[in-house]
Amino acid sequence: MQIYYLEIVTKDVDAVCAAYAKLHGVSFSDPVAELGKARTASLLGGGKIGVRAPTTETEEPVVRPYLLVDDIEAAANAAAEGGGEIAHPPMEIPGHGKFAIFIQGGVHHGLWQV
């Protein structure tokens, strides 16, 4: 199991990016439009961390890990069959891969296929 993308939704993007940069010596990108204007940095072993502001007035702050999968459709189906609620069905982000989100046990979980 590998976390491919770690998404942090916060109302204070600059403060979170500054804290992570100071703690871990990483540099964050300018906002990436395709990733909800997330500022990203590389994770060890591949993948990225993305820090962004809520995209709607009702979106709450959340930390959401996206696990790397070989087949996003099969993984989303398995999550649903295991009792997960599909919050966002598989969707392609051009140039970045495909993602899906499910909620299980009150926790947001993401899936990512490159």
12-58 pLDDT, tens digit per residue, is 999 999 999 999 999 999 999 999 999 999 998 899 999 999 999 99
Q: What is the mean pLDDT of residues 3-17?
A: 98
For 69-114, CATH number?
A: 3.10.180.10
- pTM greater than 0.85 (yes/no): yes
User: In angstroms, rounded to a whole number, what is the distance separating the alpha carbons of residues 17 and 27?
Assistant: 8
* C-alpha angle 43-66-100 in degrees, rounded to nearest 5: 145
Q: Under CATH, what is the fold of the domain 6-61?
A: 2,3-Dihydroxybiphenyl 1,2-Dioxygenase; domain 1 (3.10.180)
Domain coordinates of the chain in residue numbers?
6-61, 69-114
Nearest CA to 3 out of 42, 52, 48 is that of 48
Amino acid at site 89 = P
Condensed to tens digits (0 to 9), the pLDDT of residues 80-111 reads 999 999 999 999 999 999 999 999 999 999 99
User: For residue 45, what pLDDT is reported?
Assistant: 86
